[in-house]
Amino acid sequence: MSTETPLRTFSTSHLNPRCMGLAFGTTGLVFYLGCMLTMATVPRESAVTFFNSLLHGLDVGPILKTSVPLPQVALGLVTTFILGWFAGILSAGIYNLSLRLGK
């Protein structure tokens, strides 16, 4: 008789909506902070070129603001986290529902 642990097999399990919401919200915050860091460290024309390439040629030059008031930054951070959190909860909920309906 072997004392080795059996290999784990893949099984479909449910996702925790709160954890997934936290993961999505935090990911959104990291991207938001990365965008802020980019805007703070590169010249305006470099930022326009960078964001134009990310948005497949959409010209962000006319709408790109280089100075944003602190309350607006705080609102952006909170809103980004809440929208990401909601997207994570919704994604996990739909995934879990599809598992239940597929049985």
Pure H helices in 8-69: 17-41, 44-54
Q: How far apart are CA 101 and CA 103, in angstroms?
A: 6
With tokens 């860091």, the residue in question is: 37
Q: Which amino acid is at 98?
A: S
Q: How many residues does the chain have?
A: 103
Q: Which residue has the tokens 């006319």?
A: 62
CA distances to 30, 50, 74, 79 from 25, rounded to whole Å, are 9, 24, 15, 10
For the full predicted model, state whether its pTM sits above 0.85. no
**What pLDDT does residue 5 have?**
60
Can you give the pLDDT at residue 12? Answer: 67
Looking at residue 1, its pLDDT comes to 56
Residues 55, 61: Cα–Cα separation, whole Å: 12
Report the amino acid identity of residue 14.
H
Res 13: pLDDT: 86
pLDDT in tens, the chain (103 residues): 556 665 555 566 899 999 999 999 999 999 999 999 999 999 999 999 999 999 988 999 999 988 899 999 999 999 999 999 999 999 999 999 998 888 7
